[in-house]
Amino acid sequence: MEVVGEAEDGLRAVEVCKKLTPDLLILDISMPGLNGIEAARRIAAESPATKVIILSMHSDRRFVLEALKSGAQGYLLKESSFRELVEAVHCVMEGHIYLSVQLSSSLIKEFLQLSQHSEPSAFSILSDREREVLQLLAEGHNSKEIAYKLNISAKTIETHRKNIMEKLNIFNIAELTKYAVREGLTTLE
């Protein structure tokens, strides 16, 4: 790694980036003249080949999300170790997005909380057995075959099929199959 330039504020960072075309730029969010998020946005528009990592003291998800939306490929807290910064640089240069370890766990927890209030999925609507029956139906098995595989009666399979259709408000096998594929219960292969 080689440092090719430095800038004392956000406006100058954008200018230096245009002039030197670095592979990667590390920006602080709190910079005079033009904050790091706006600088990242301009750099993404004017120098799209330059990758950006935000290094900040702000751990609030709003800063992280805005930085990523602005075109930054990495976000590290200033309290991160030098080793983590180097890891982030390598990760971003390989084309991945990097989030500081401290941020990752809190964002994932928040994402999981939000996802509980999102659109229901097969995993929240159907029982384990109903998902199992739906998968086998979507894979082309008839009730007798499913009953044999699951070691239960064909009548029980028919009851599960009826319950699945009512819960999902889907009343034909083709649509059930599309739903199962969309929900990740099975694939087209």
For residue 153, the 8-state DSSP code is -
DSSP H or E segment with residue 42: helix 36-46
Give the count of domains, the chain.
2
Do both 38 and 61 map to the same domain? yes
Domain boundary, last residue among 85, 115, 145: 115
The β-bridge partners of 71 are none
CATH number for the domain harbouring residue 156: 1.10.10.10
Distance of CA 58 to the CA centre of its chain: 21
Q: For the segment 40-82, what is each residue's pLDDT rounded down to a tens digit?
A: 999 999 999 999 999 999 888 788 888 999 999 999 999 989 9
Residue 65 shares a structural domain with residue 24? yes
CA angle 99/36/111 to nearest 5° reads 35
Residue 97 sits in the same domain as residue 154: no
**pLDDT (0 to 100) of residue 151:** 95
* Number of C-beta neighbours around residue 119 at 10 A: 6
**pLDDT for 165:** 95
Q: What is the pTM assigned to this prediction?
A: 0.61
Place of tokens 């640089």: 89
Residues 156, 147: contact at Cβ < 8 Å?
A: yes
